[in-house]
Structure 1
């Protein structure tokens, strides 16, 4: 798997802000051609960094449903079953399993009767308790700053800044904080390669 470079991070940031952004617009922003952007996005999908393009639907506005957070406390032997059943409930947007075995569900339900909604899929006999929180508002934060993905120099481990350099070594792109680290890496690689031949 190839390491991400600054261009990959810029592409991810642009797509996180608007996944429908045309490749031509991305290409103009990052200084590539649209086919090169397409190739990079395909590679990011193959590496499972991008796991899909989706839309964010406000079901409350769509059908007038009530947004809720439900915290279920399954018995220890029922965590997997409760997690799976919760994912089958109508209107579920997210299901989480905490390290302590609690199952947390974010959903929109047709009315405020959470118990009857839960009973459609979840065996409440396997749950020691549950809490329902009606949501007043929520925001989906999709902003992705490239600073959260700072590259590190493969030689010294320092963060690569705008002064950094990249080099292709044996078909792989490597990132360095400065030309001297690049020279050290390439020299070591060549000496190892020569020793093997």
Structure 2
């Protein structure tokens, strides 16, 4: 009977030791994955390609949600992939607000809407990446770069629309000089070339 108790006790101890060893491996694996994201702090994010021109800034000066997104994206230029993932849910919320808040009539056209939706879709994809346990840091950086490039594309479109609007206003104020044909005795009449009479 004592022999049986000793065997059960040894099996229990071995099972317990085996469980602790597996727990340590799981903890070490997840720690390594998170550490790999934090440790790859080398930034390969390019600066935004297009910023707003003075006319473009004037166009969006009252669009608060645009201003919020513009300020919020500053966080992504110097963030690590792990920090970008932590900010991703707030970014997707901010991009959704940007779409919902569009009240500038000039921007209510498909080419602007498409750009807004592209930014939002990239932000949603980044938020989805934050739920993946072993995400590759370069994938996070690529997605972050996609968001910044899409925002640059939106800025370029806003600049083009602002430039077009400015030209249209200038053309409305422009009047072409009226040409008056003088038909008097003092001014000679031109005769049409021969063969065209």
TM-score category (smaller protein): under 0.3
TM-score, scaled to structure 2? 0.26
The answer to which structure has the higher strand fraction is: 1
Instruction: Please tell me whether Structure 1 or Structure 2 has the larger radius of gyration of its CA atoms.
Output: 2
TM-score, scaled to structure 1? 0.26
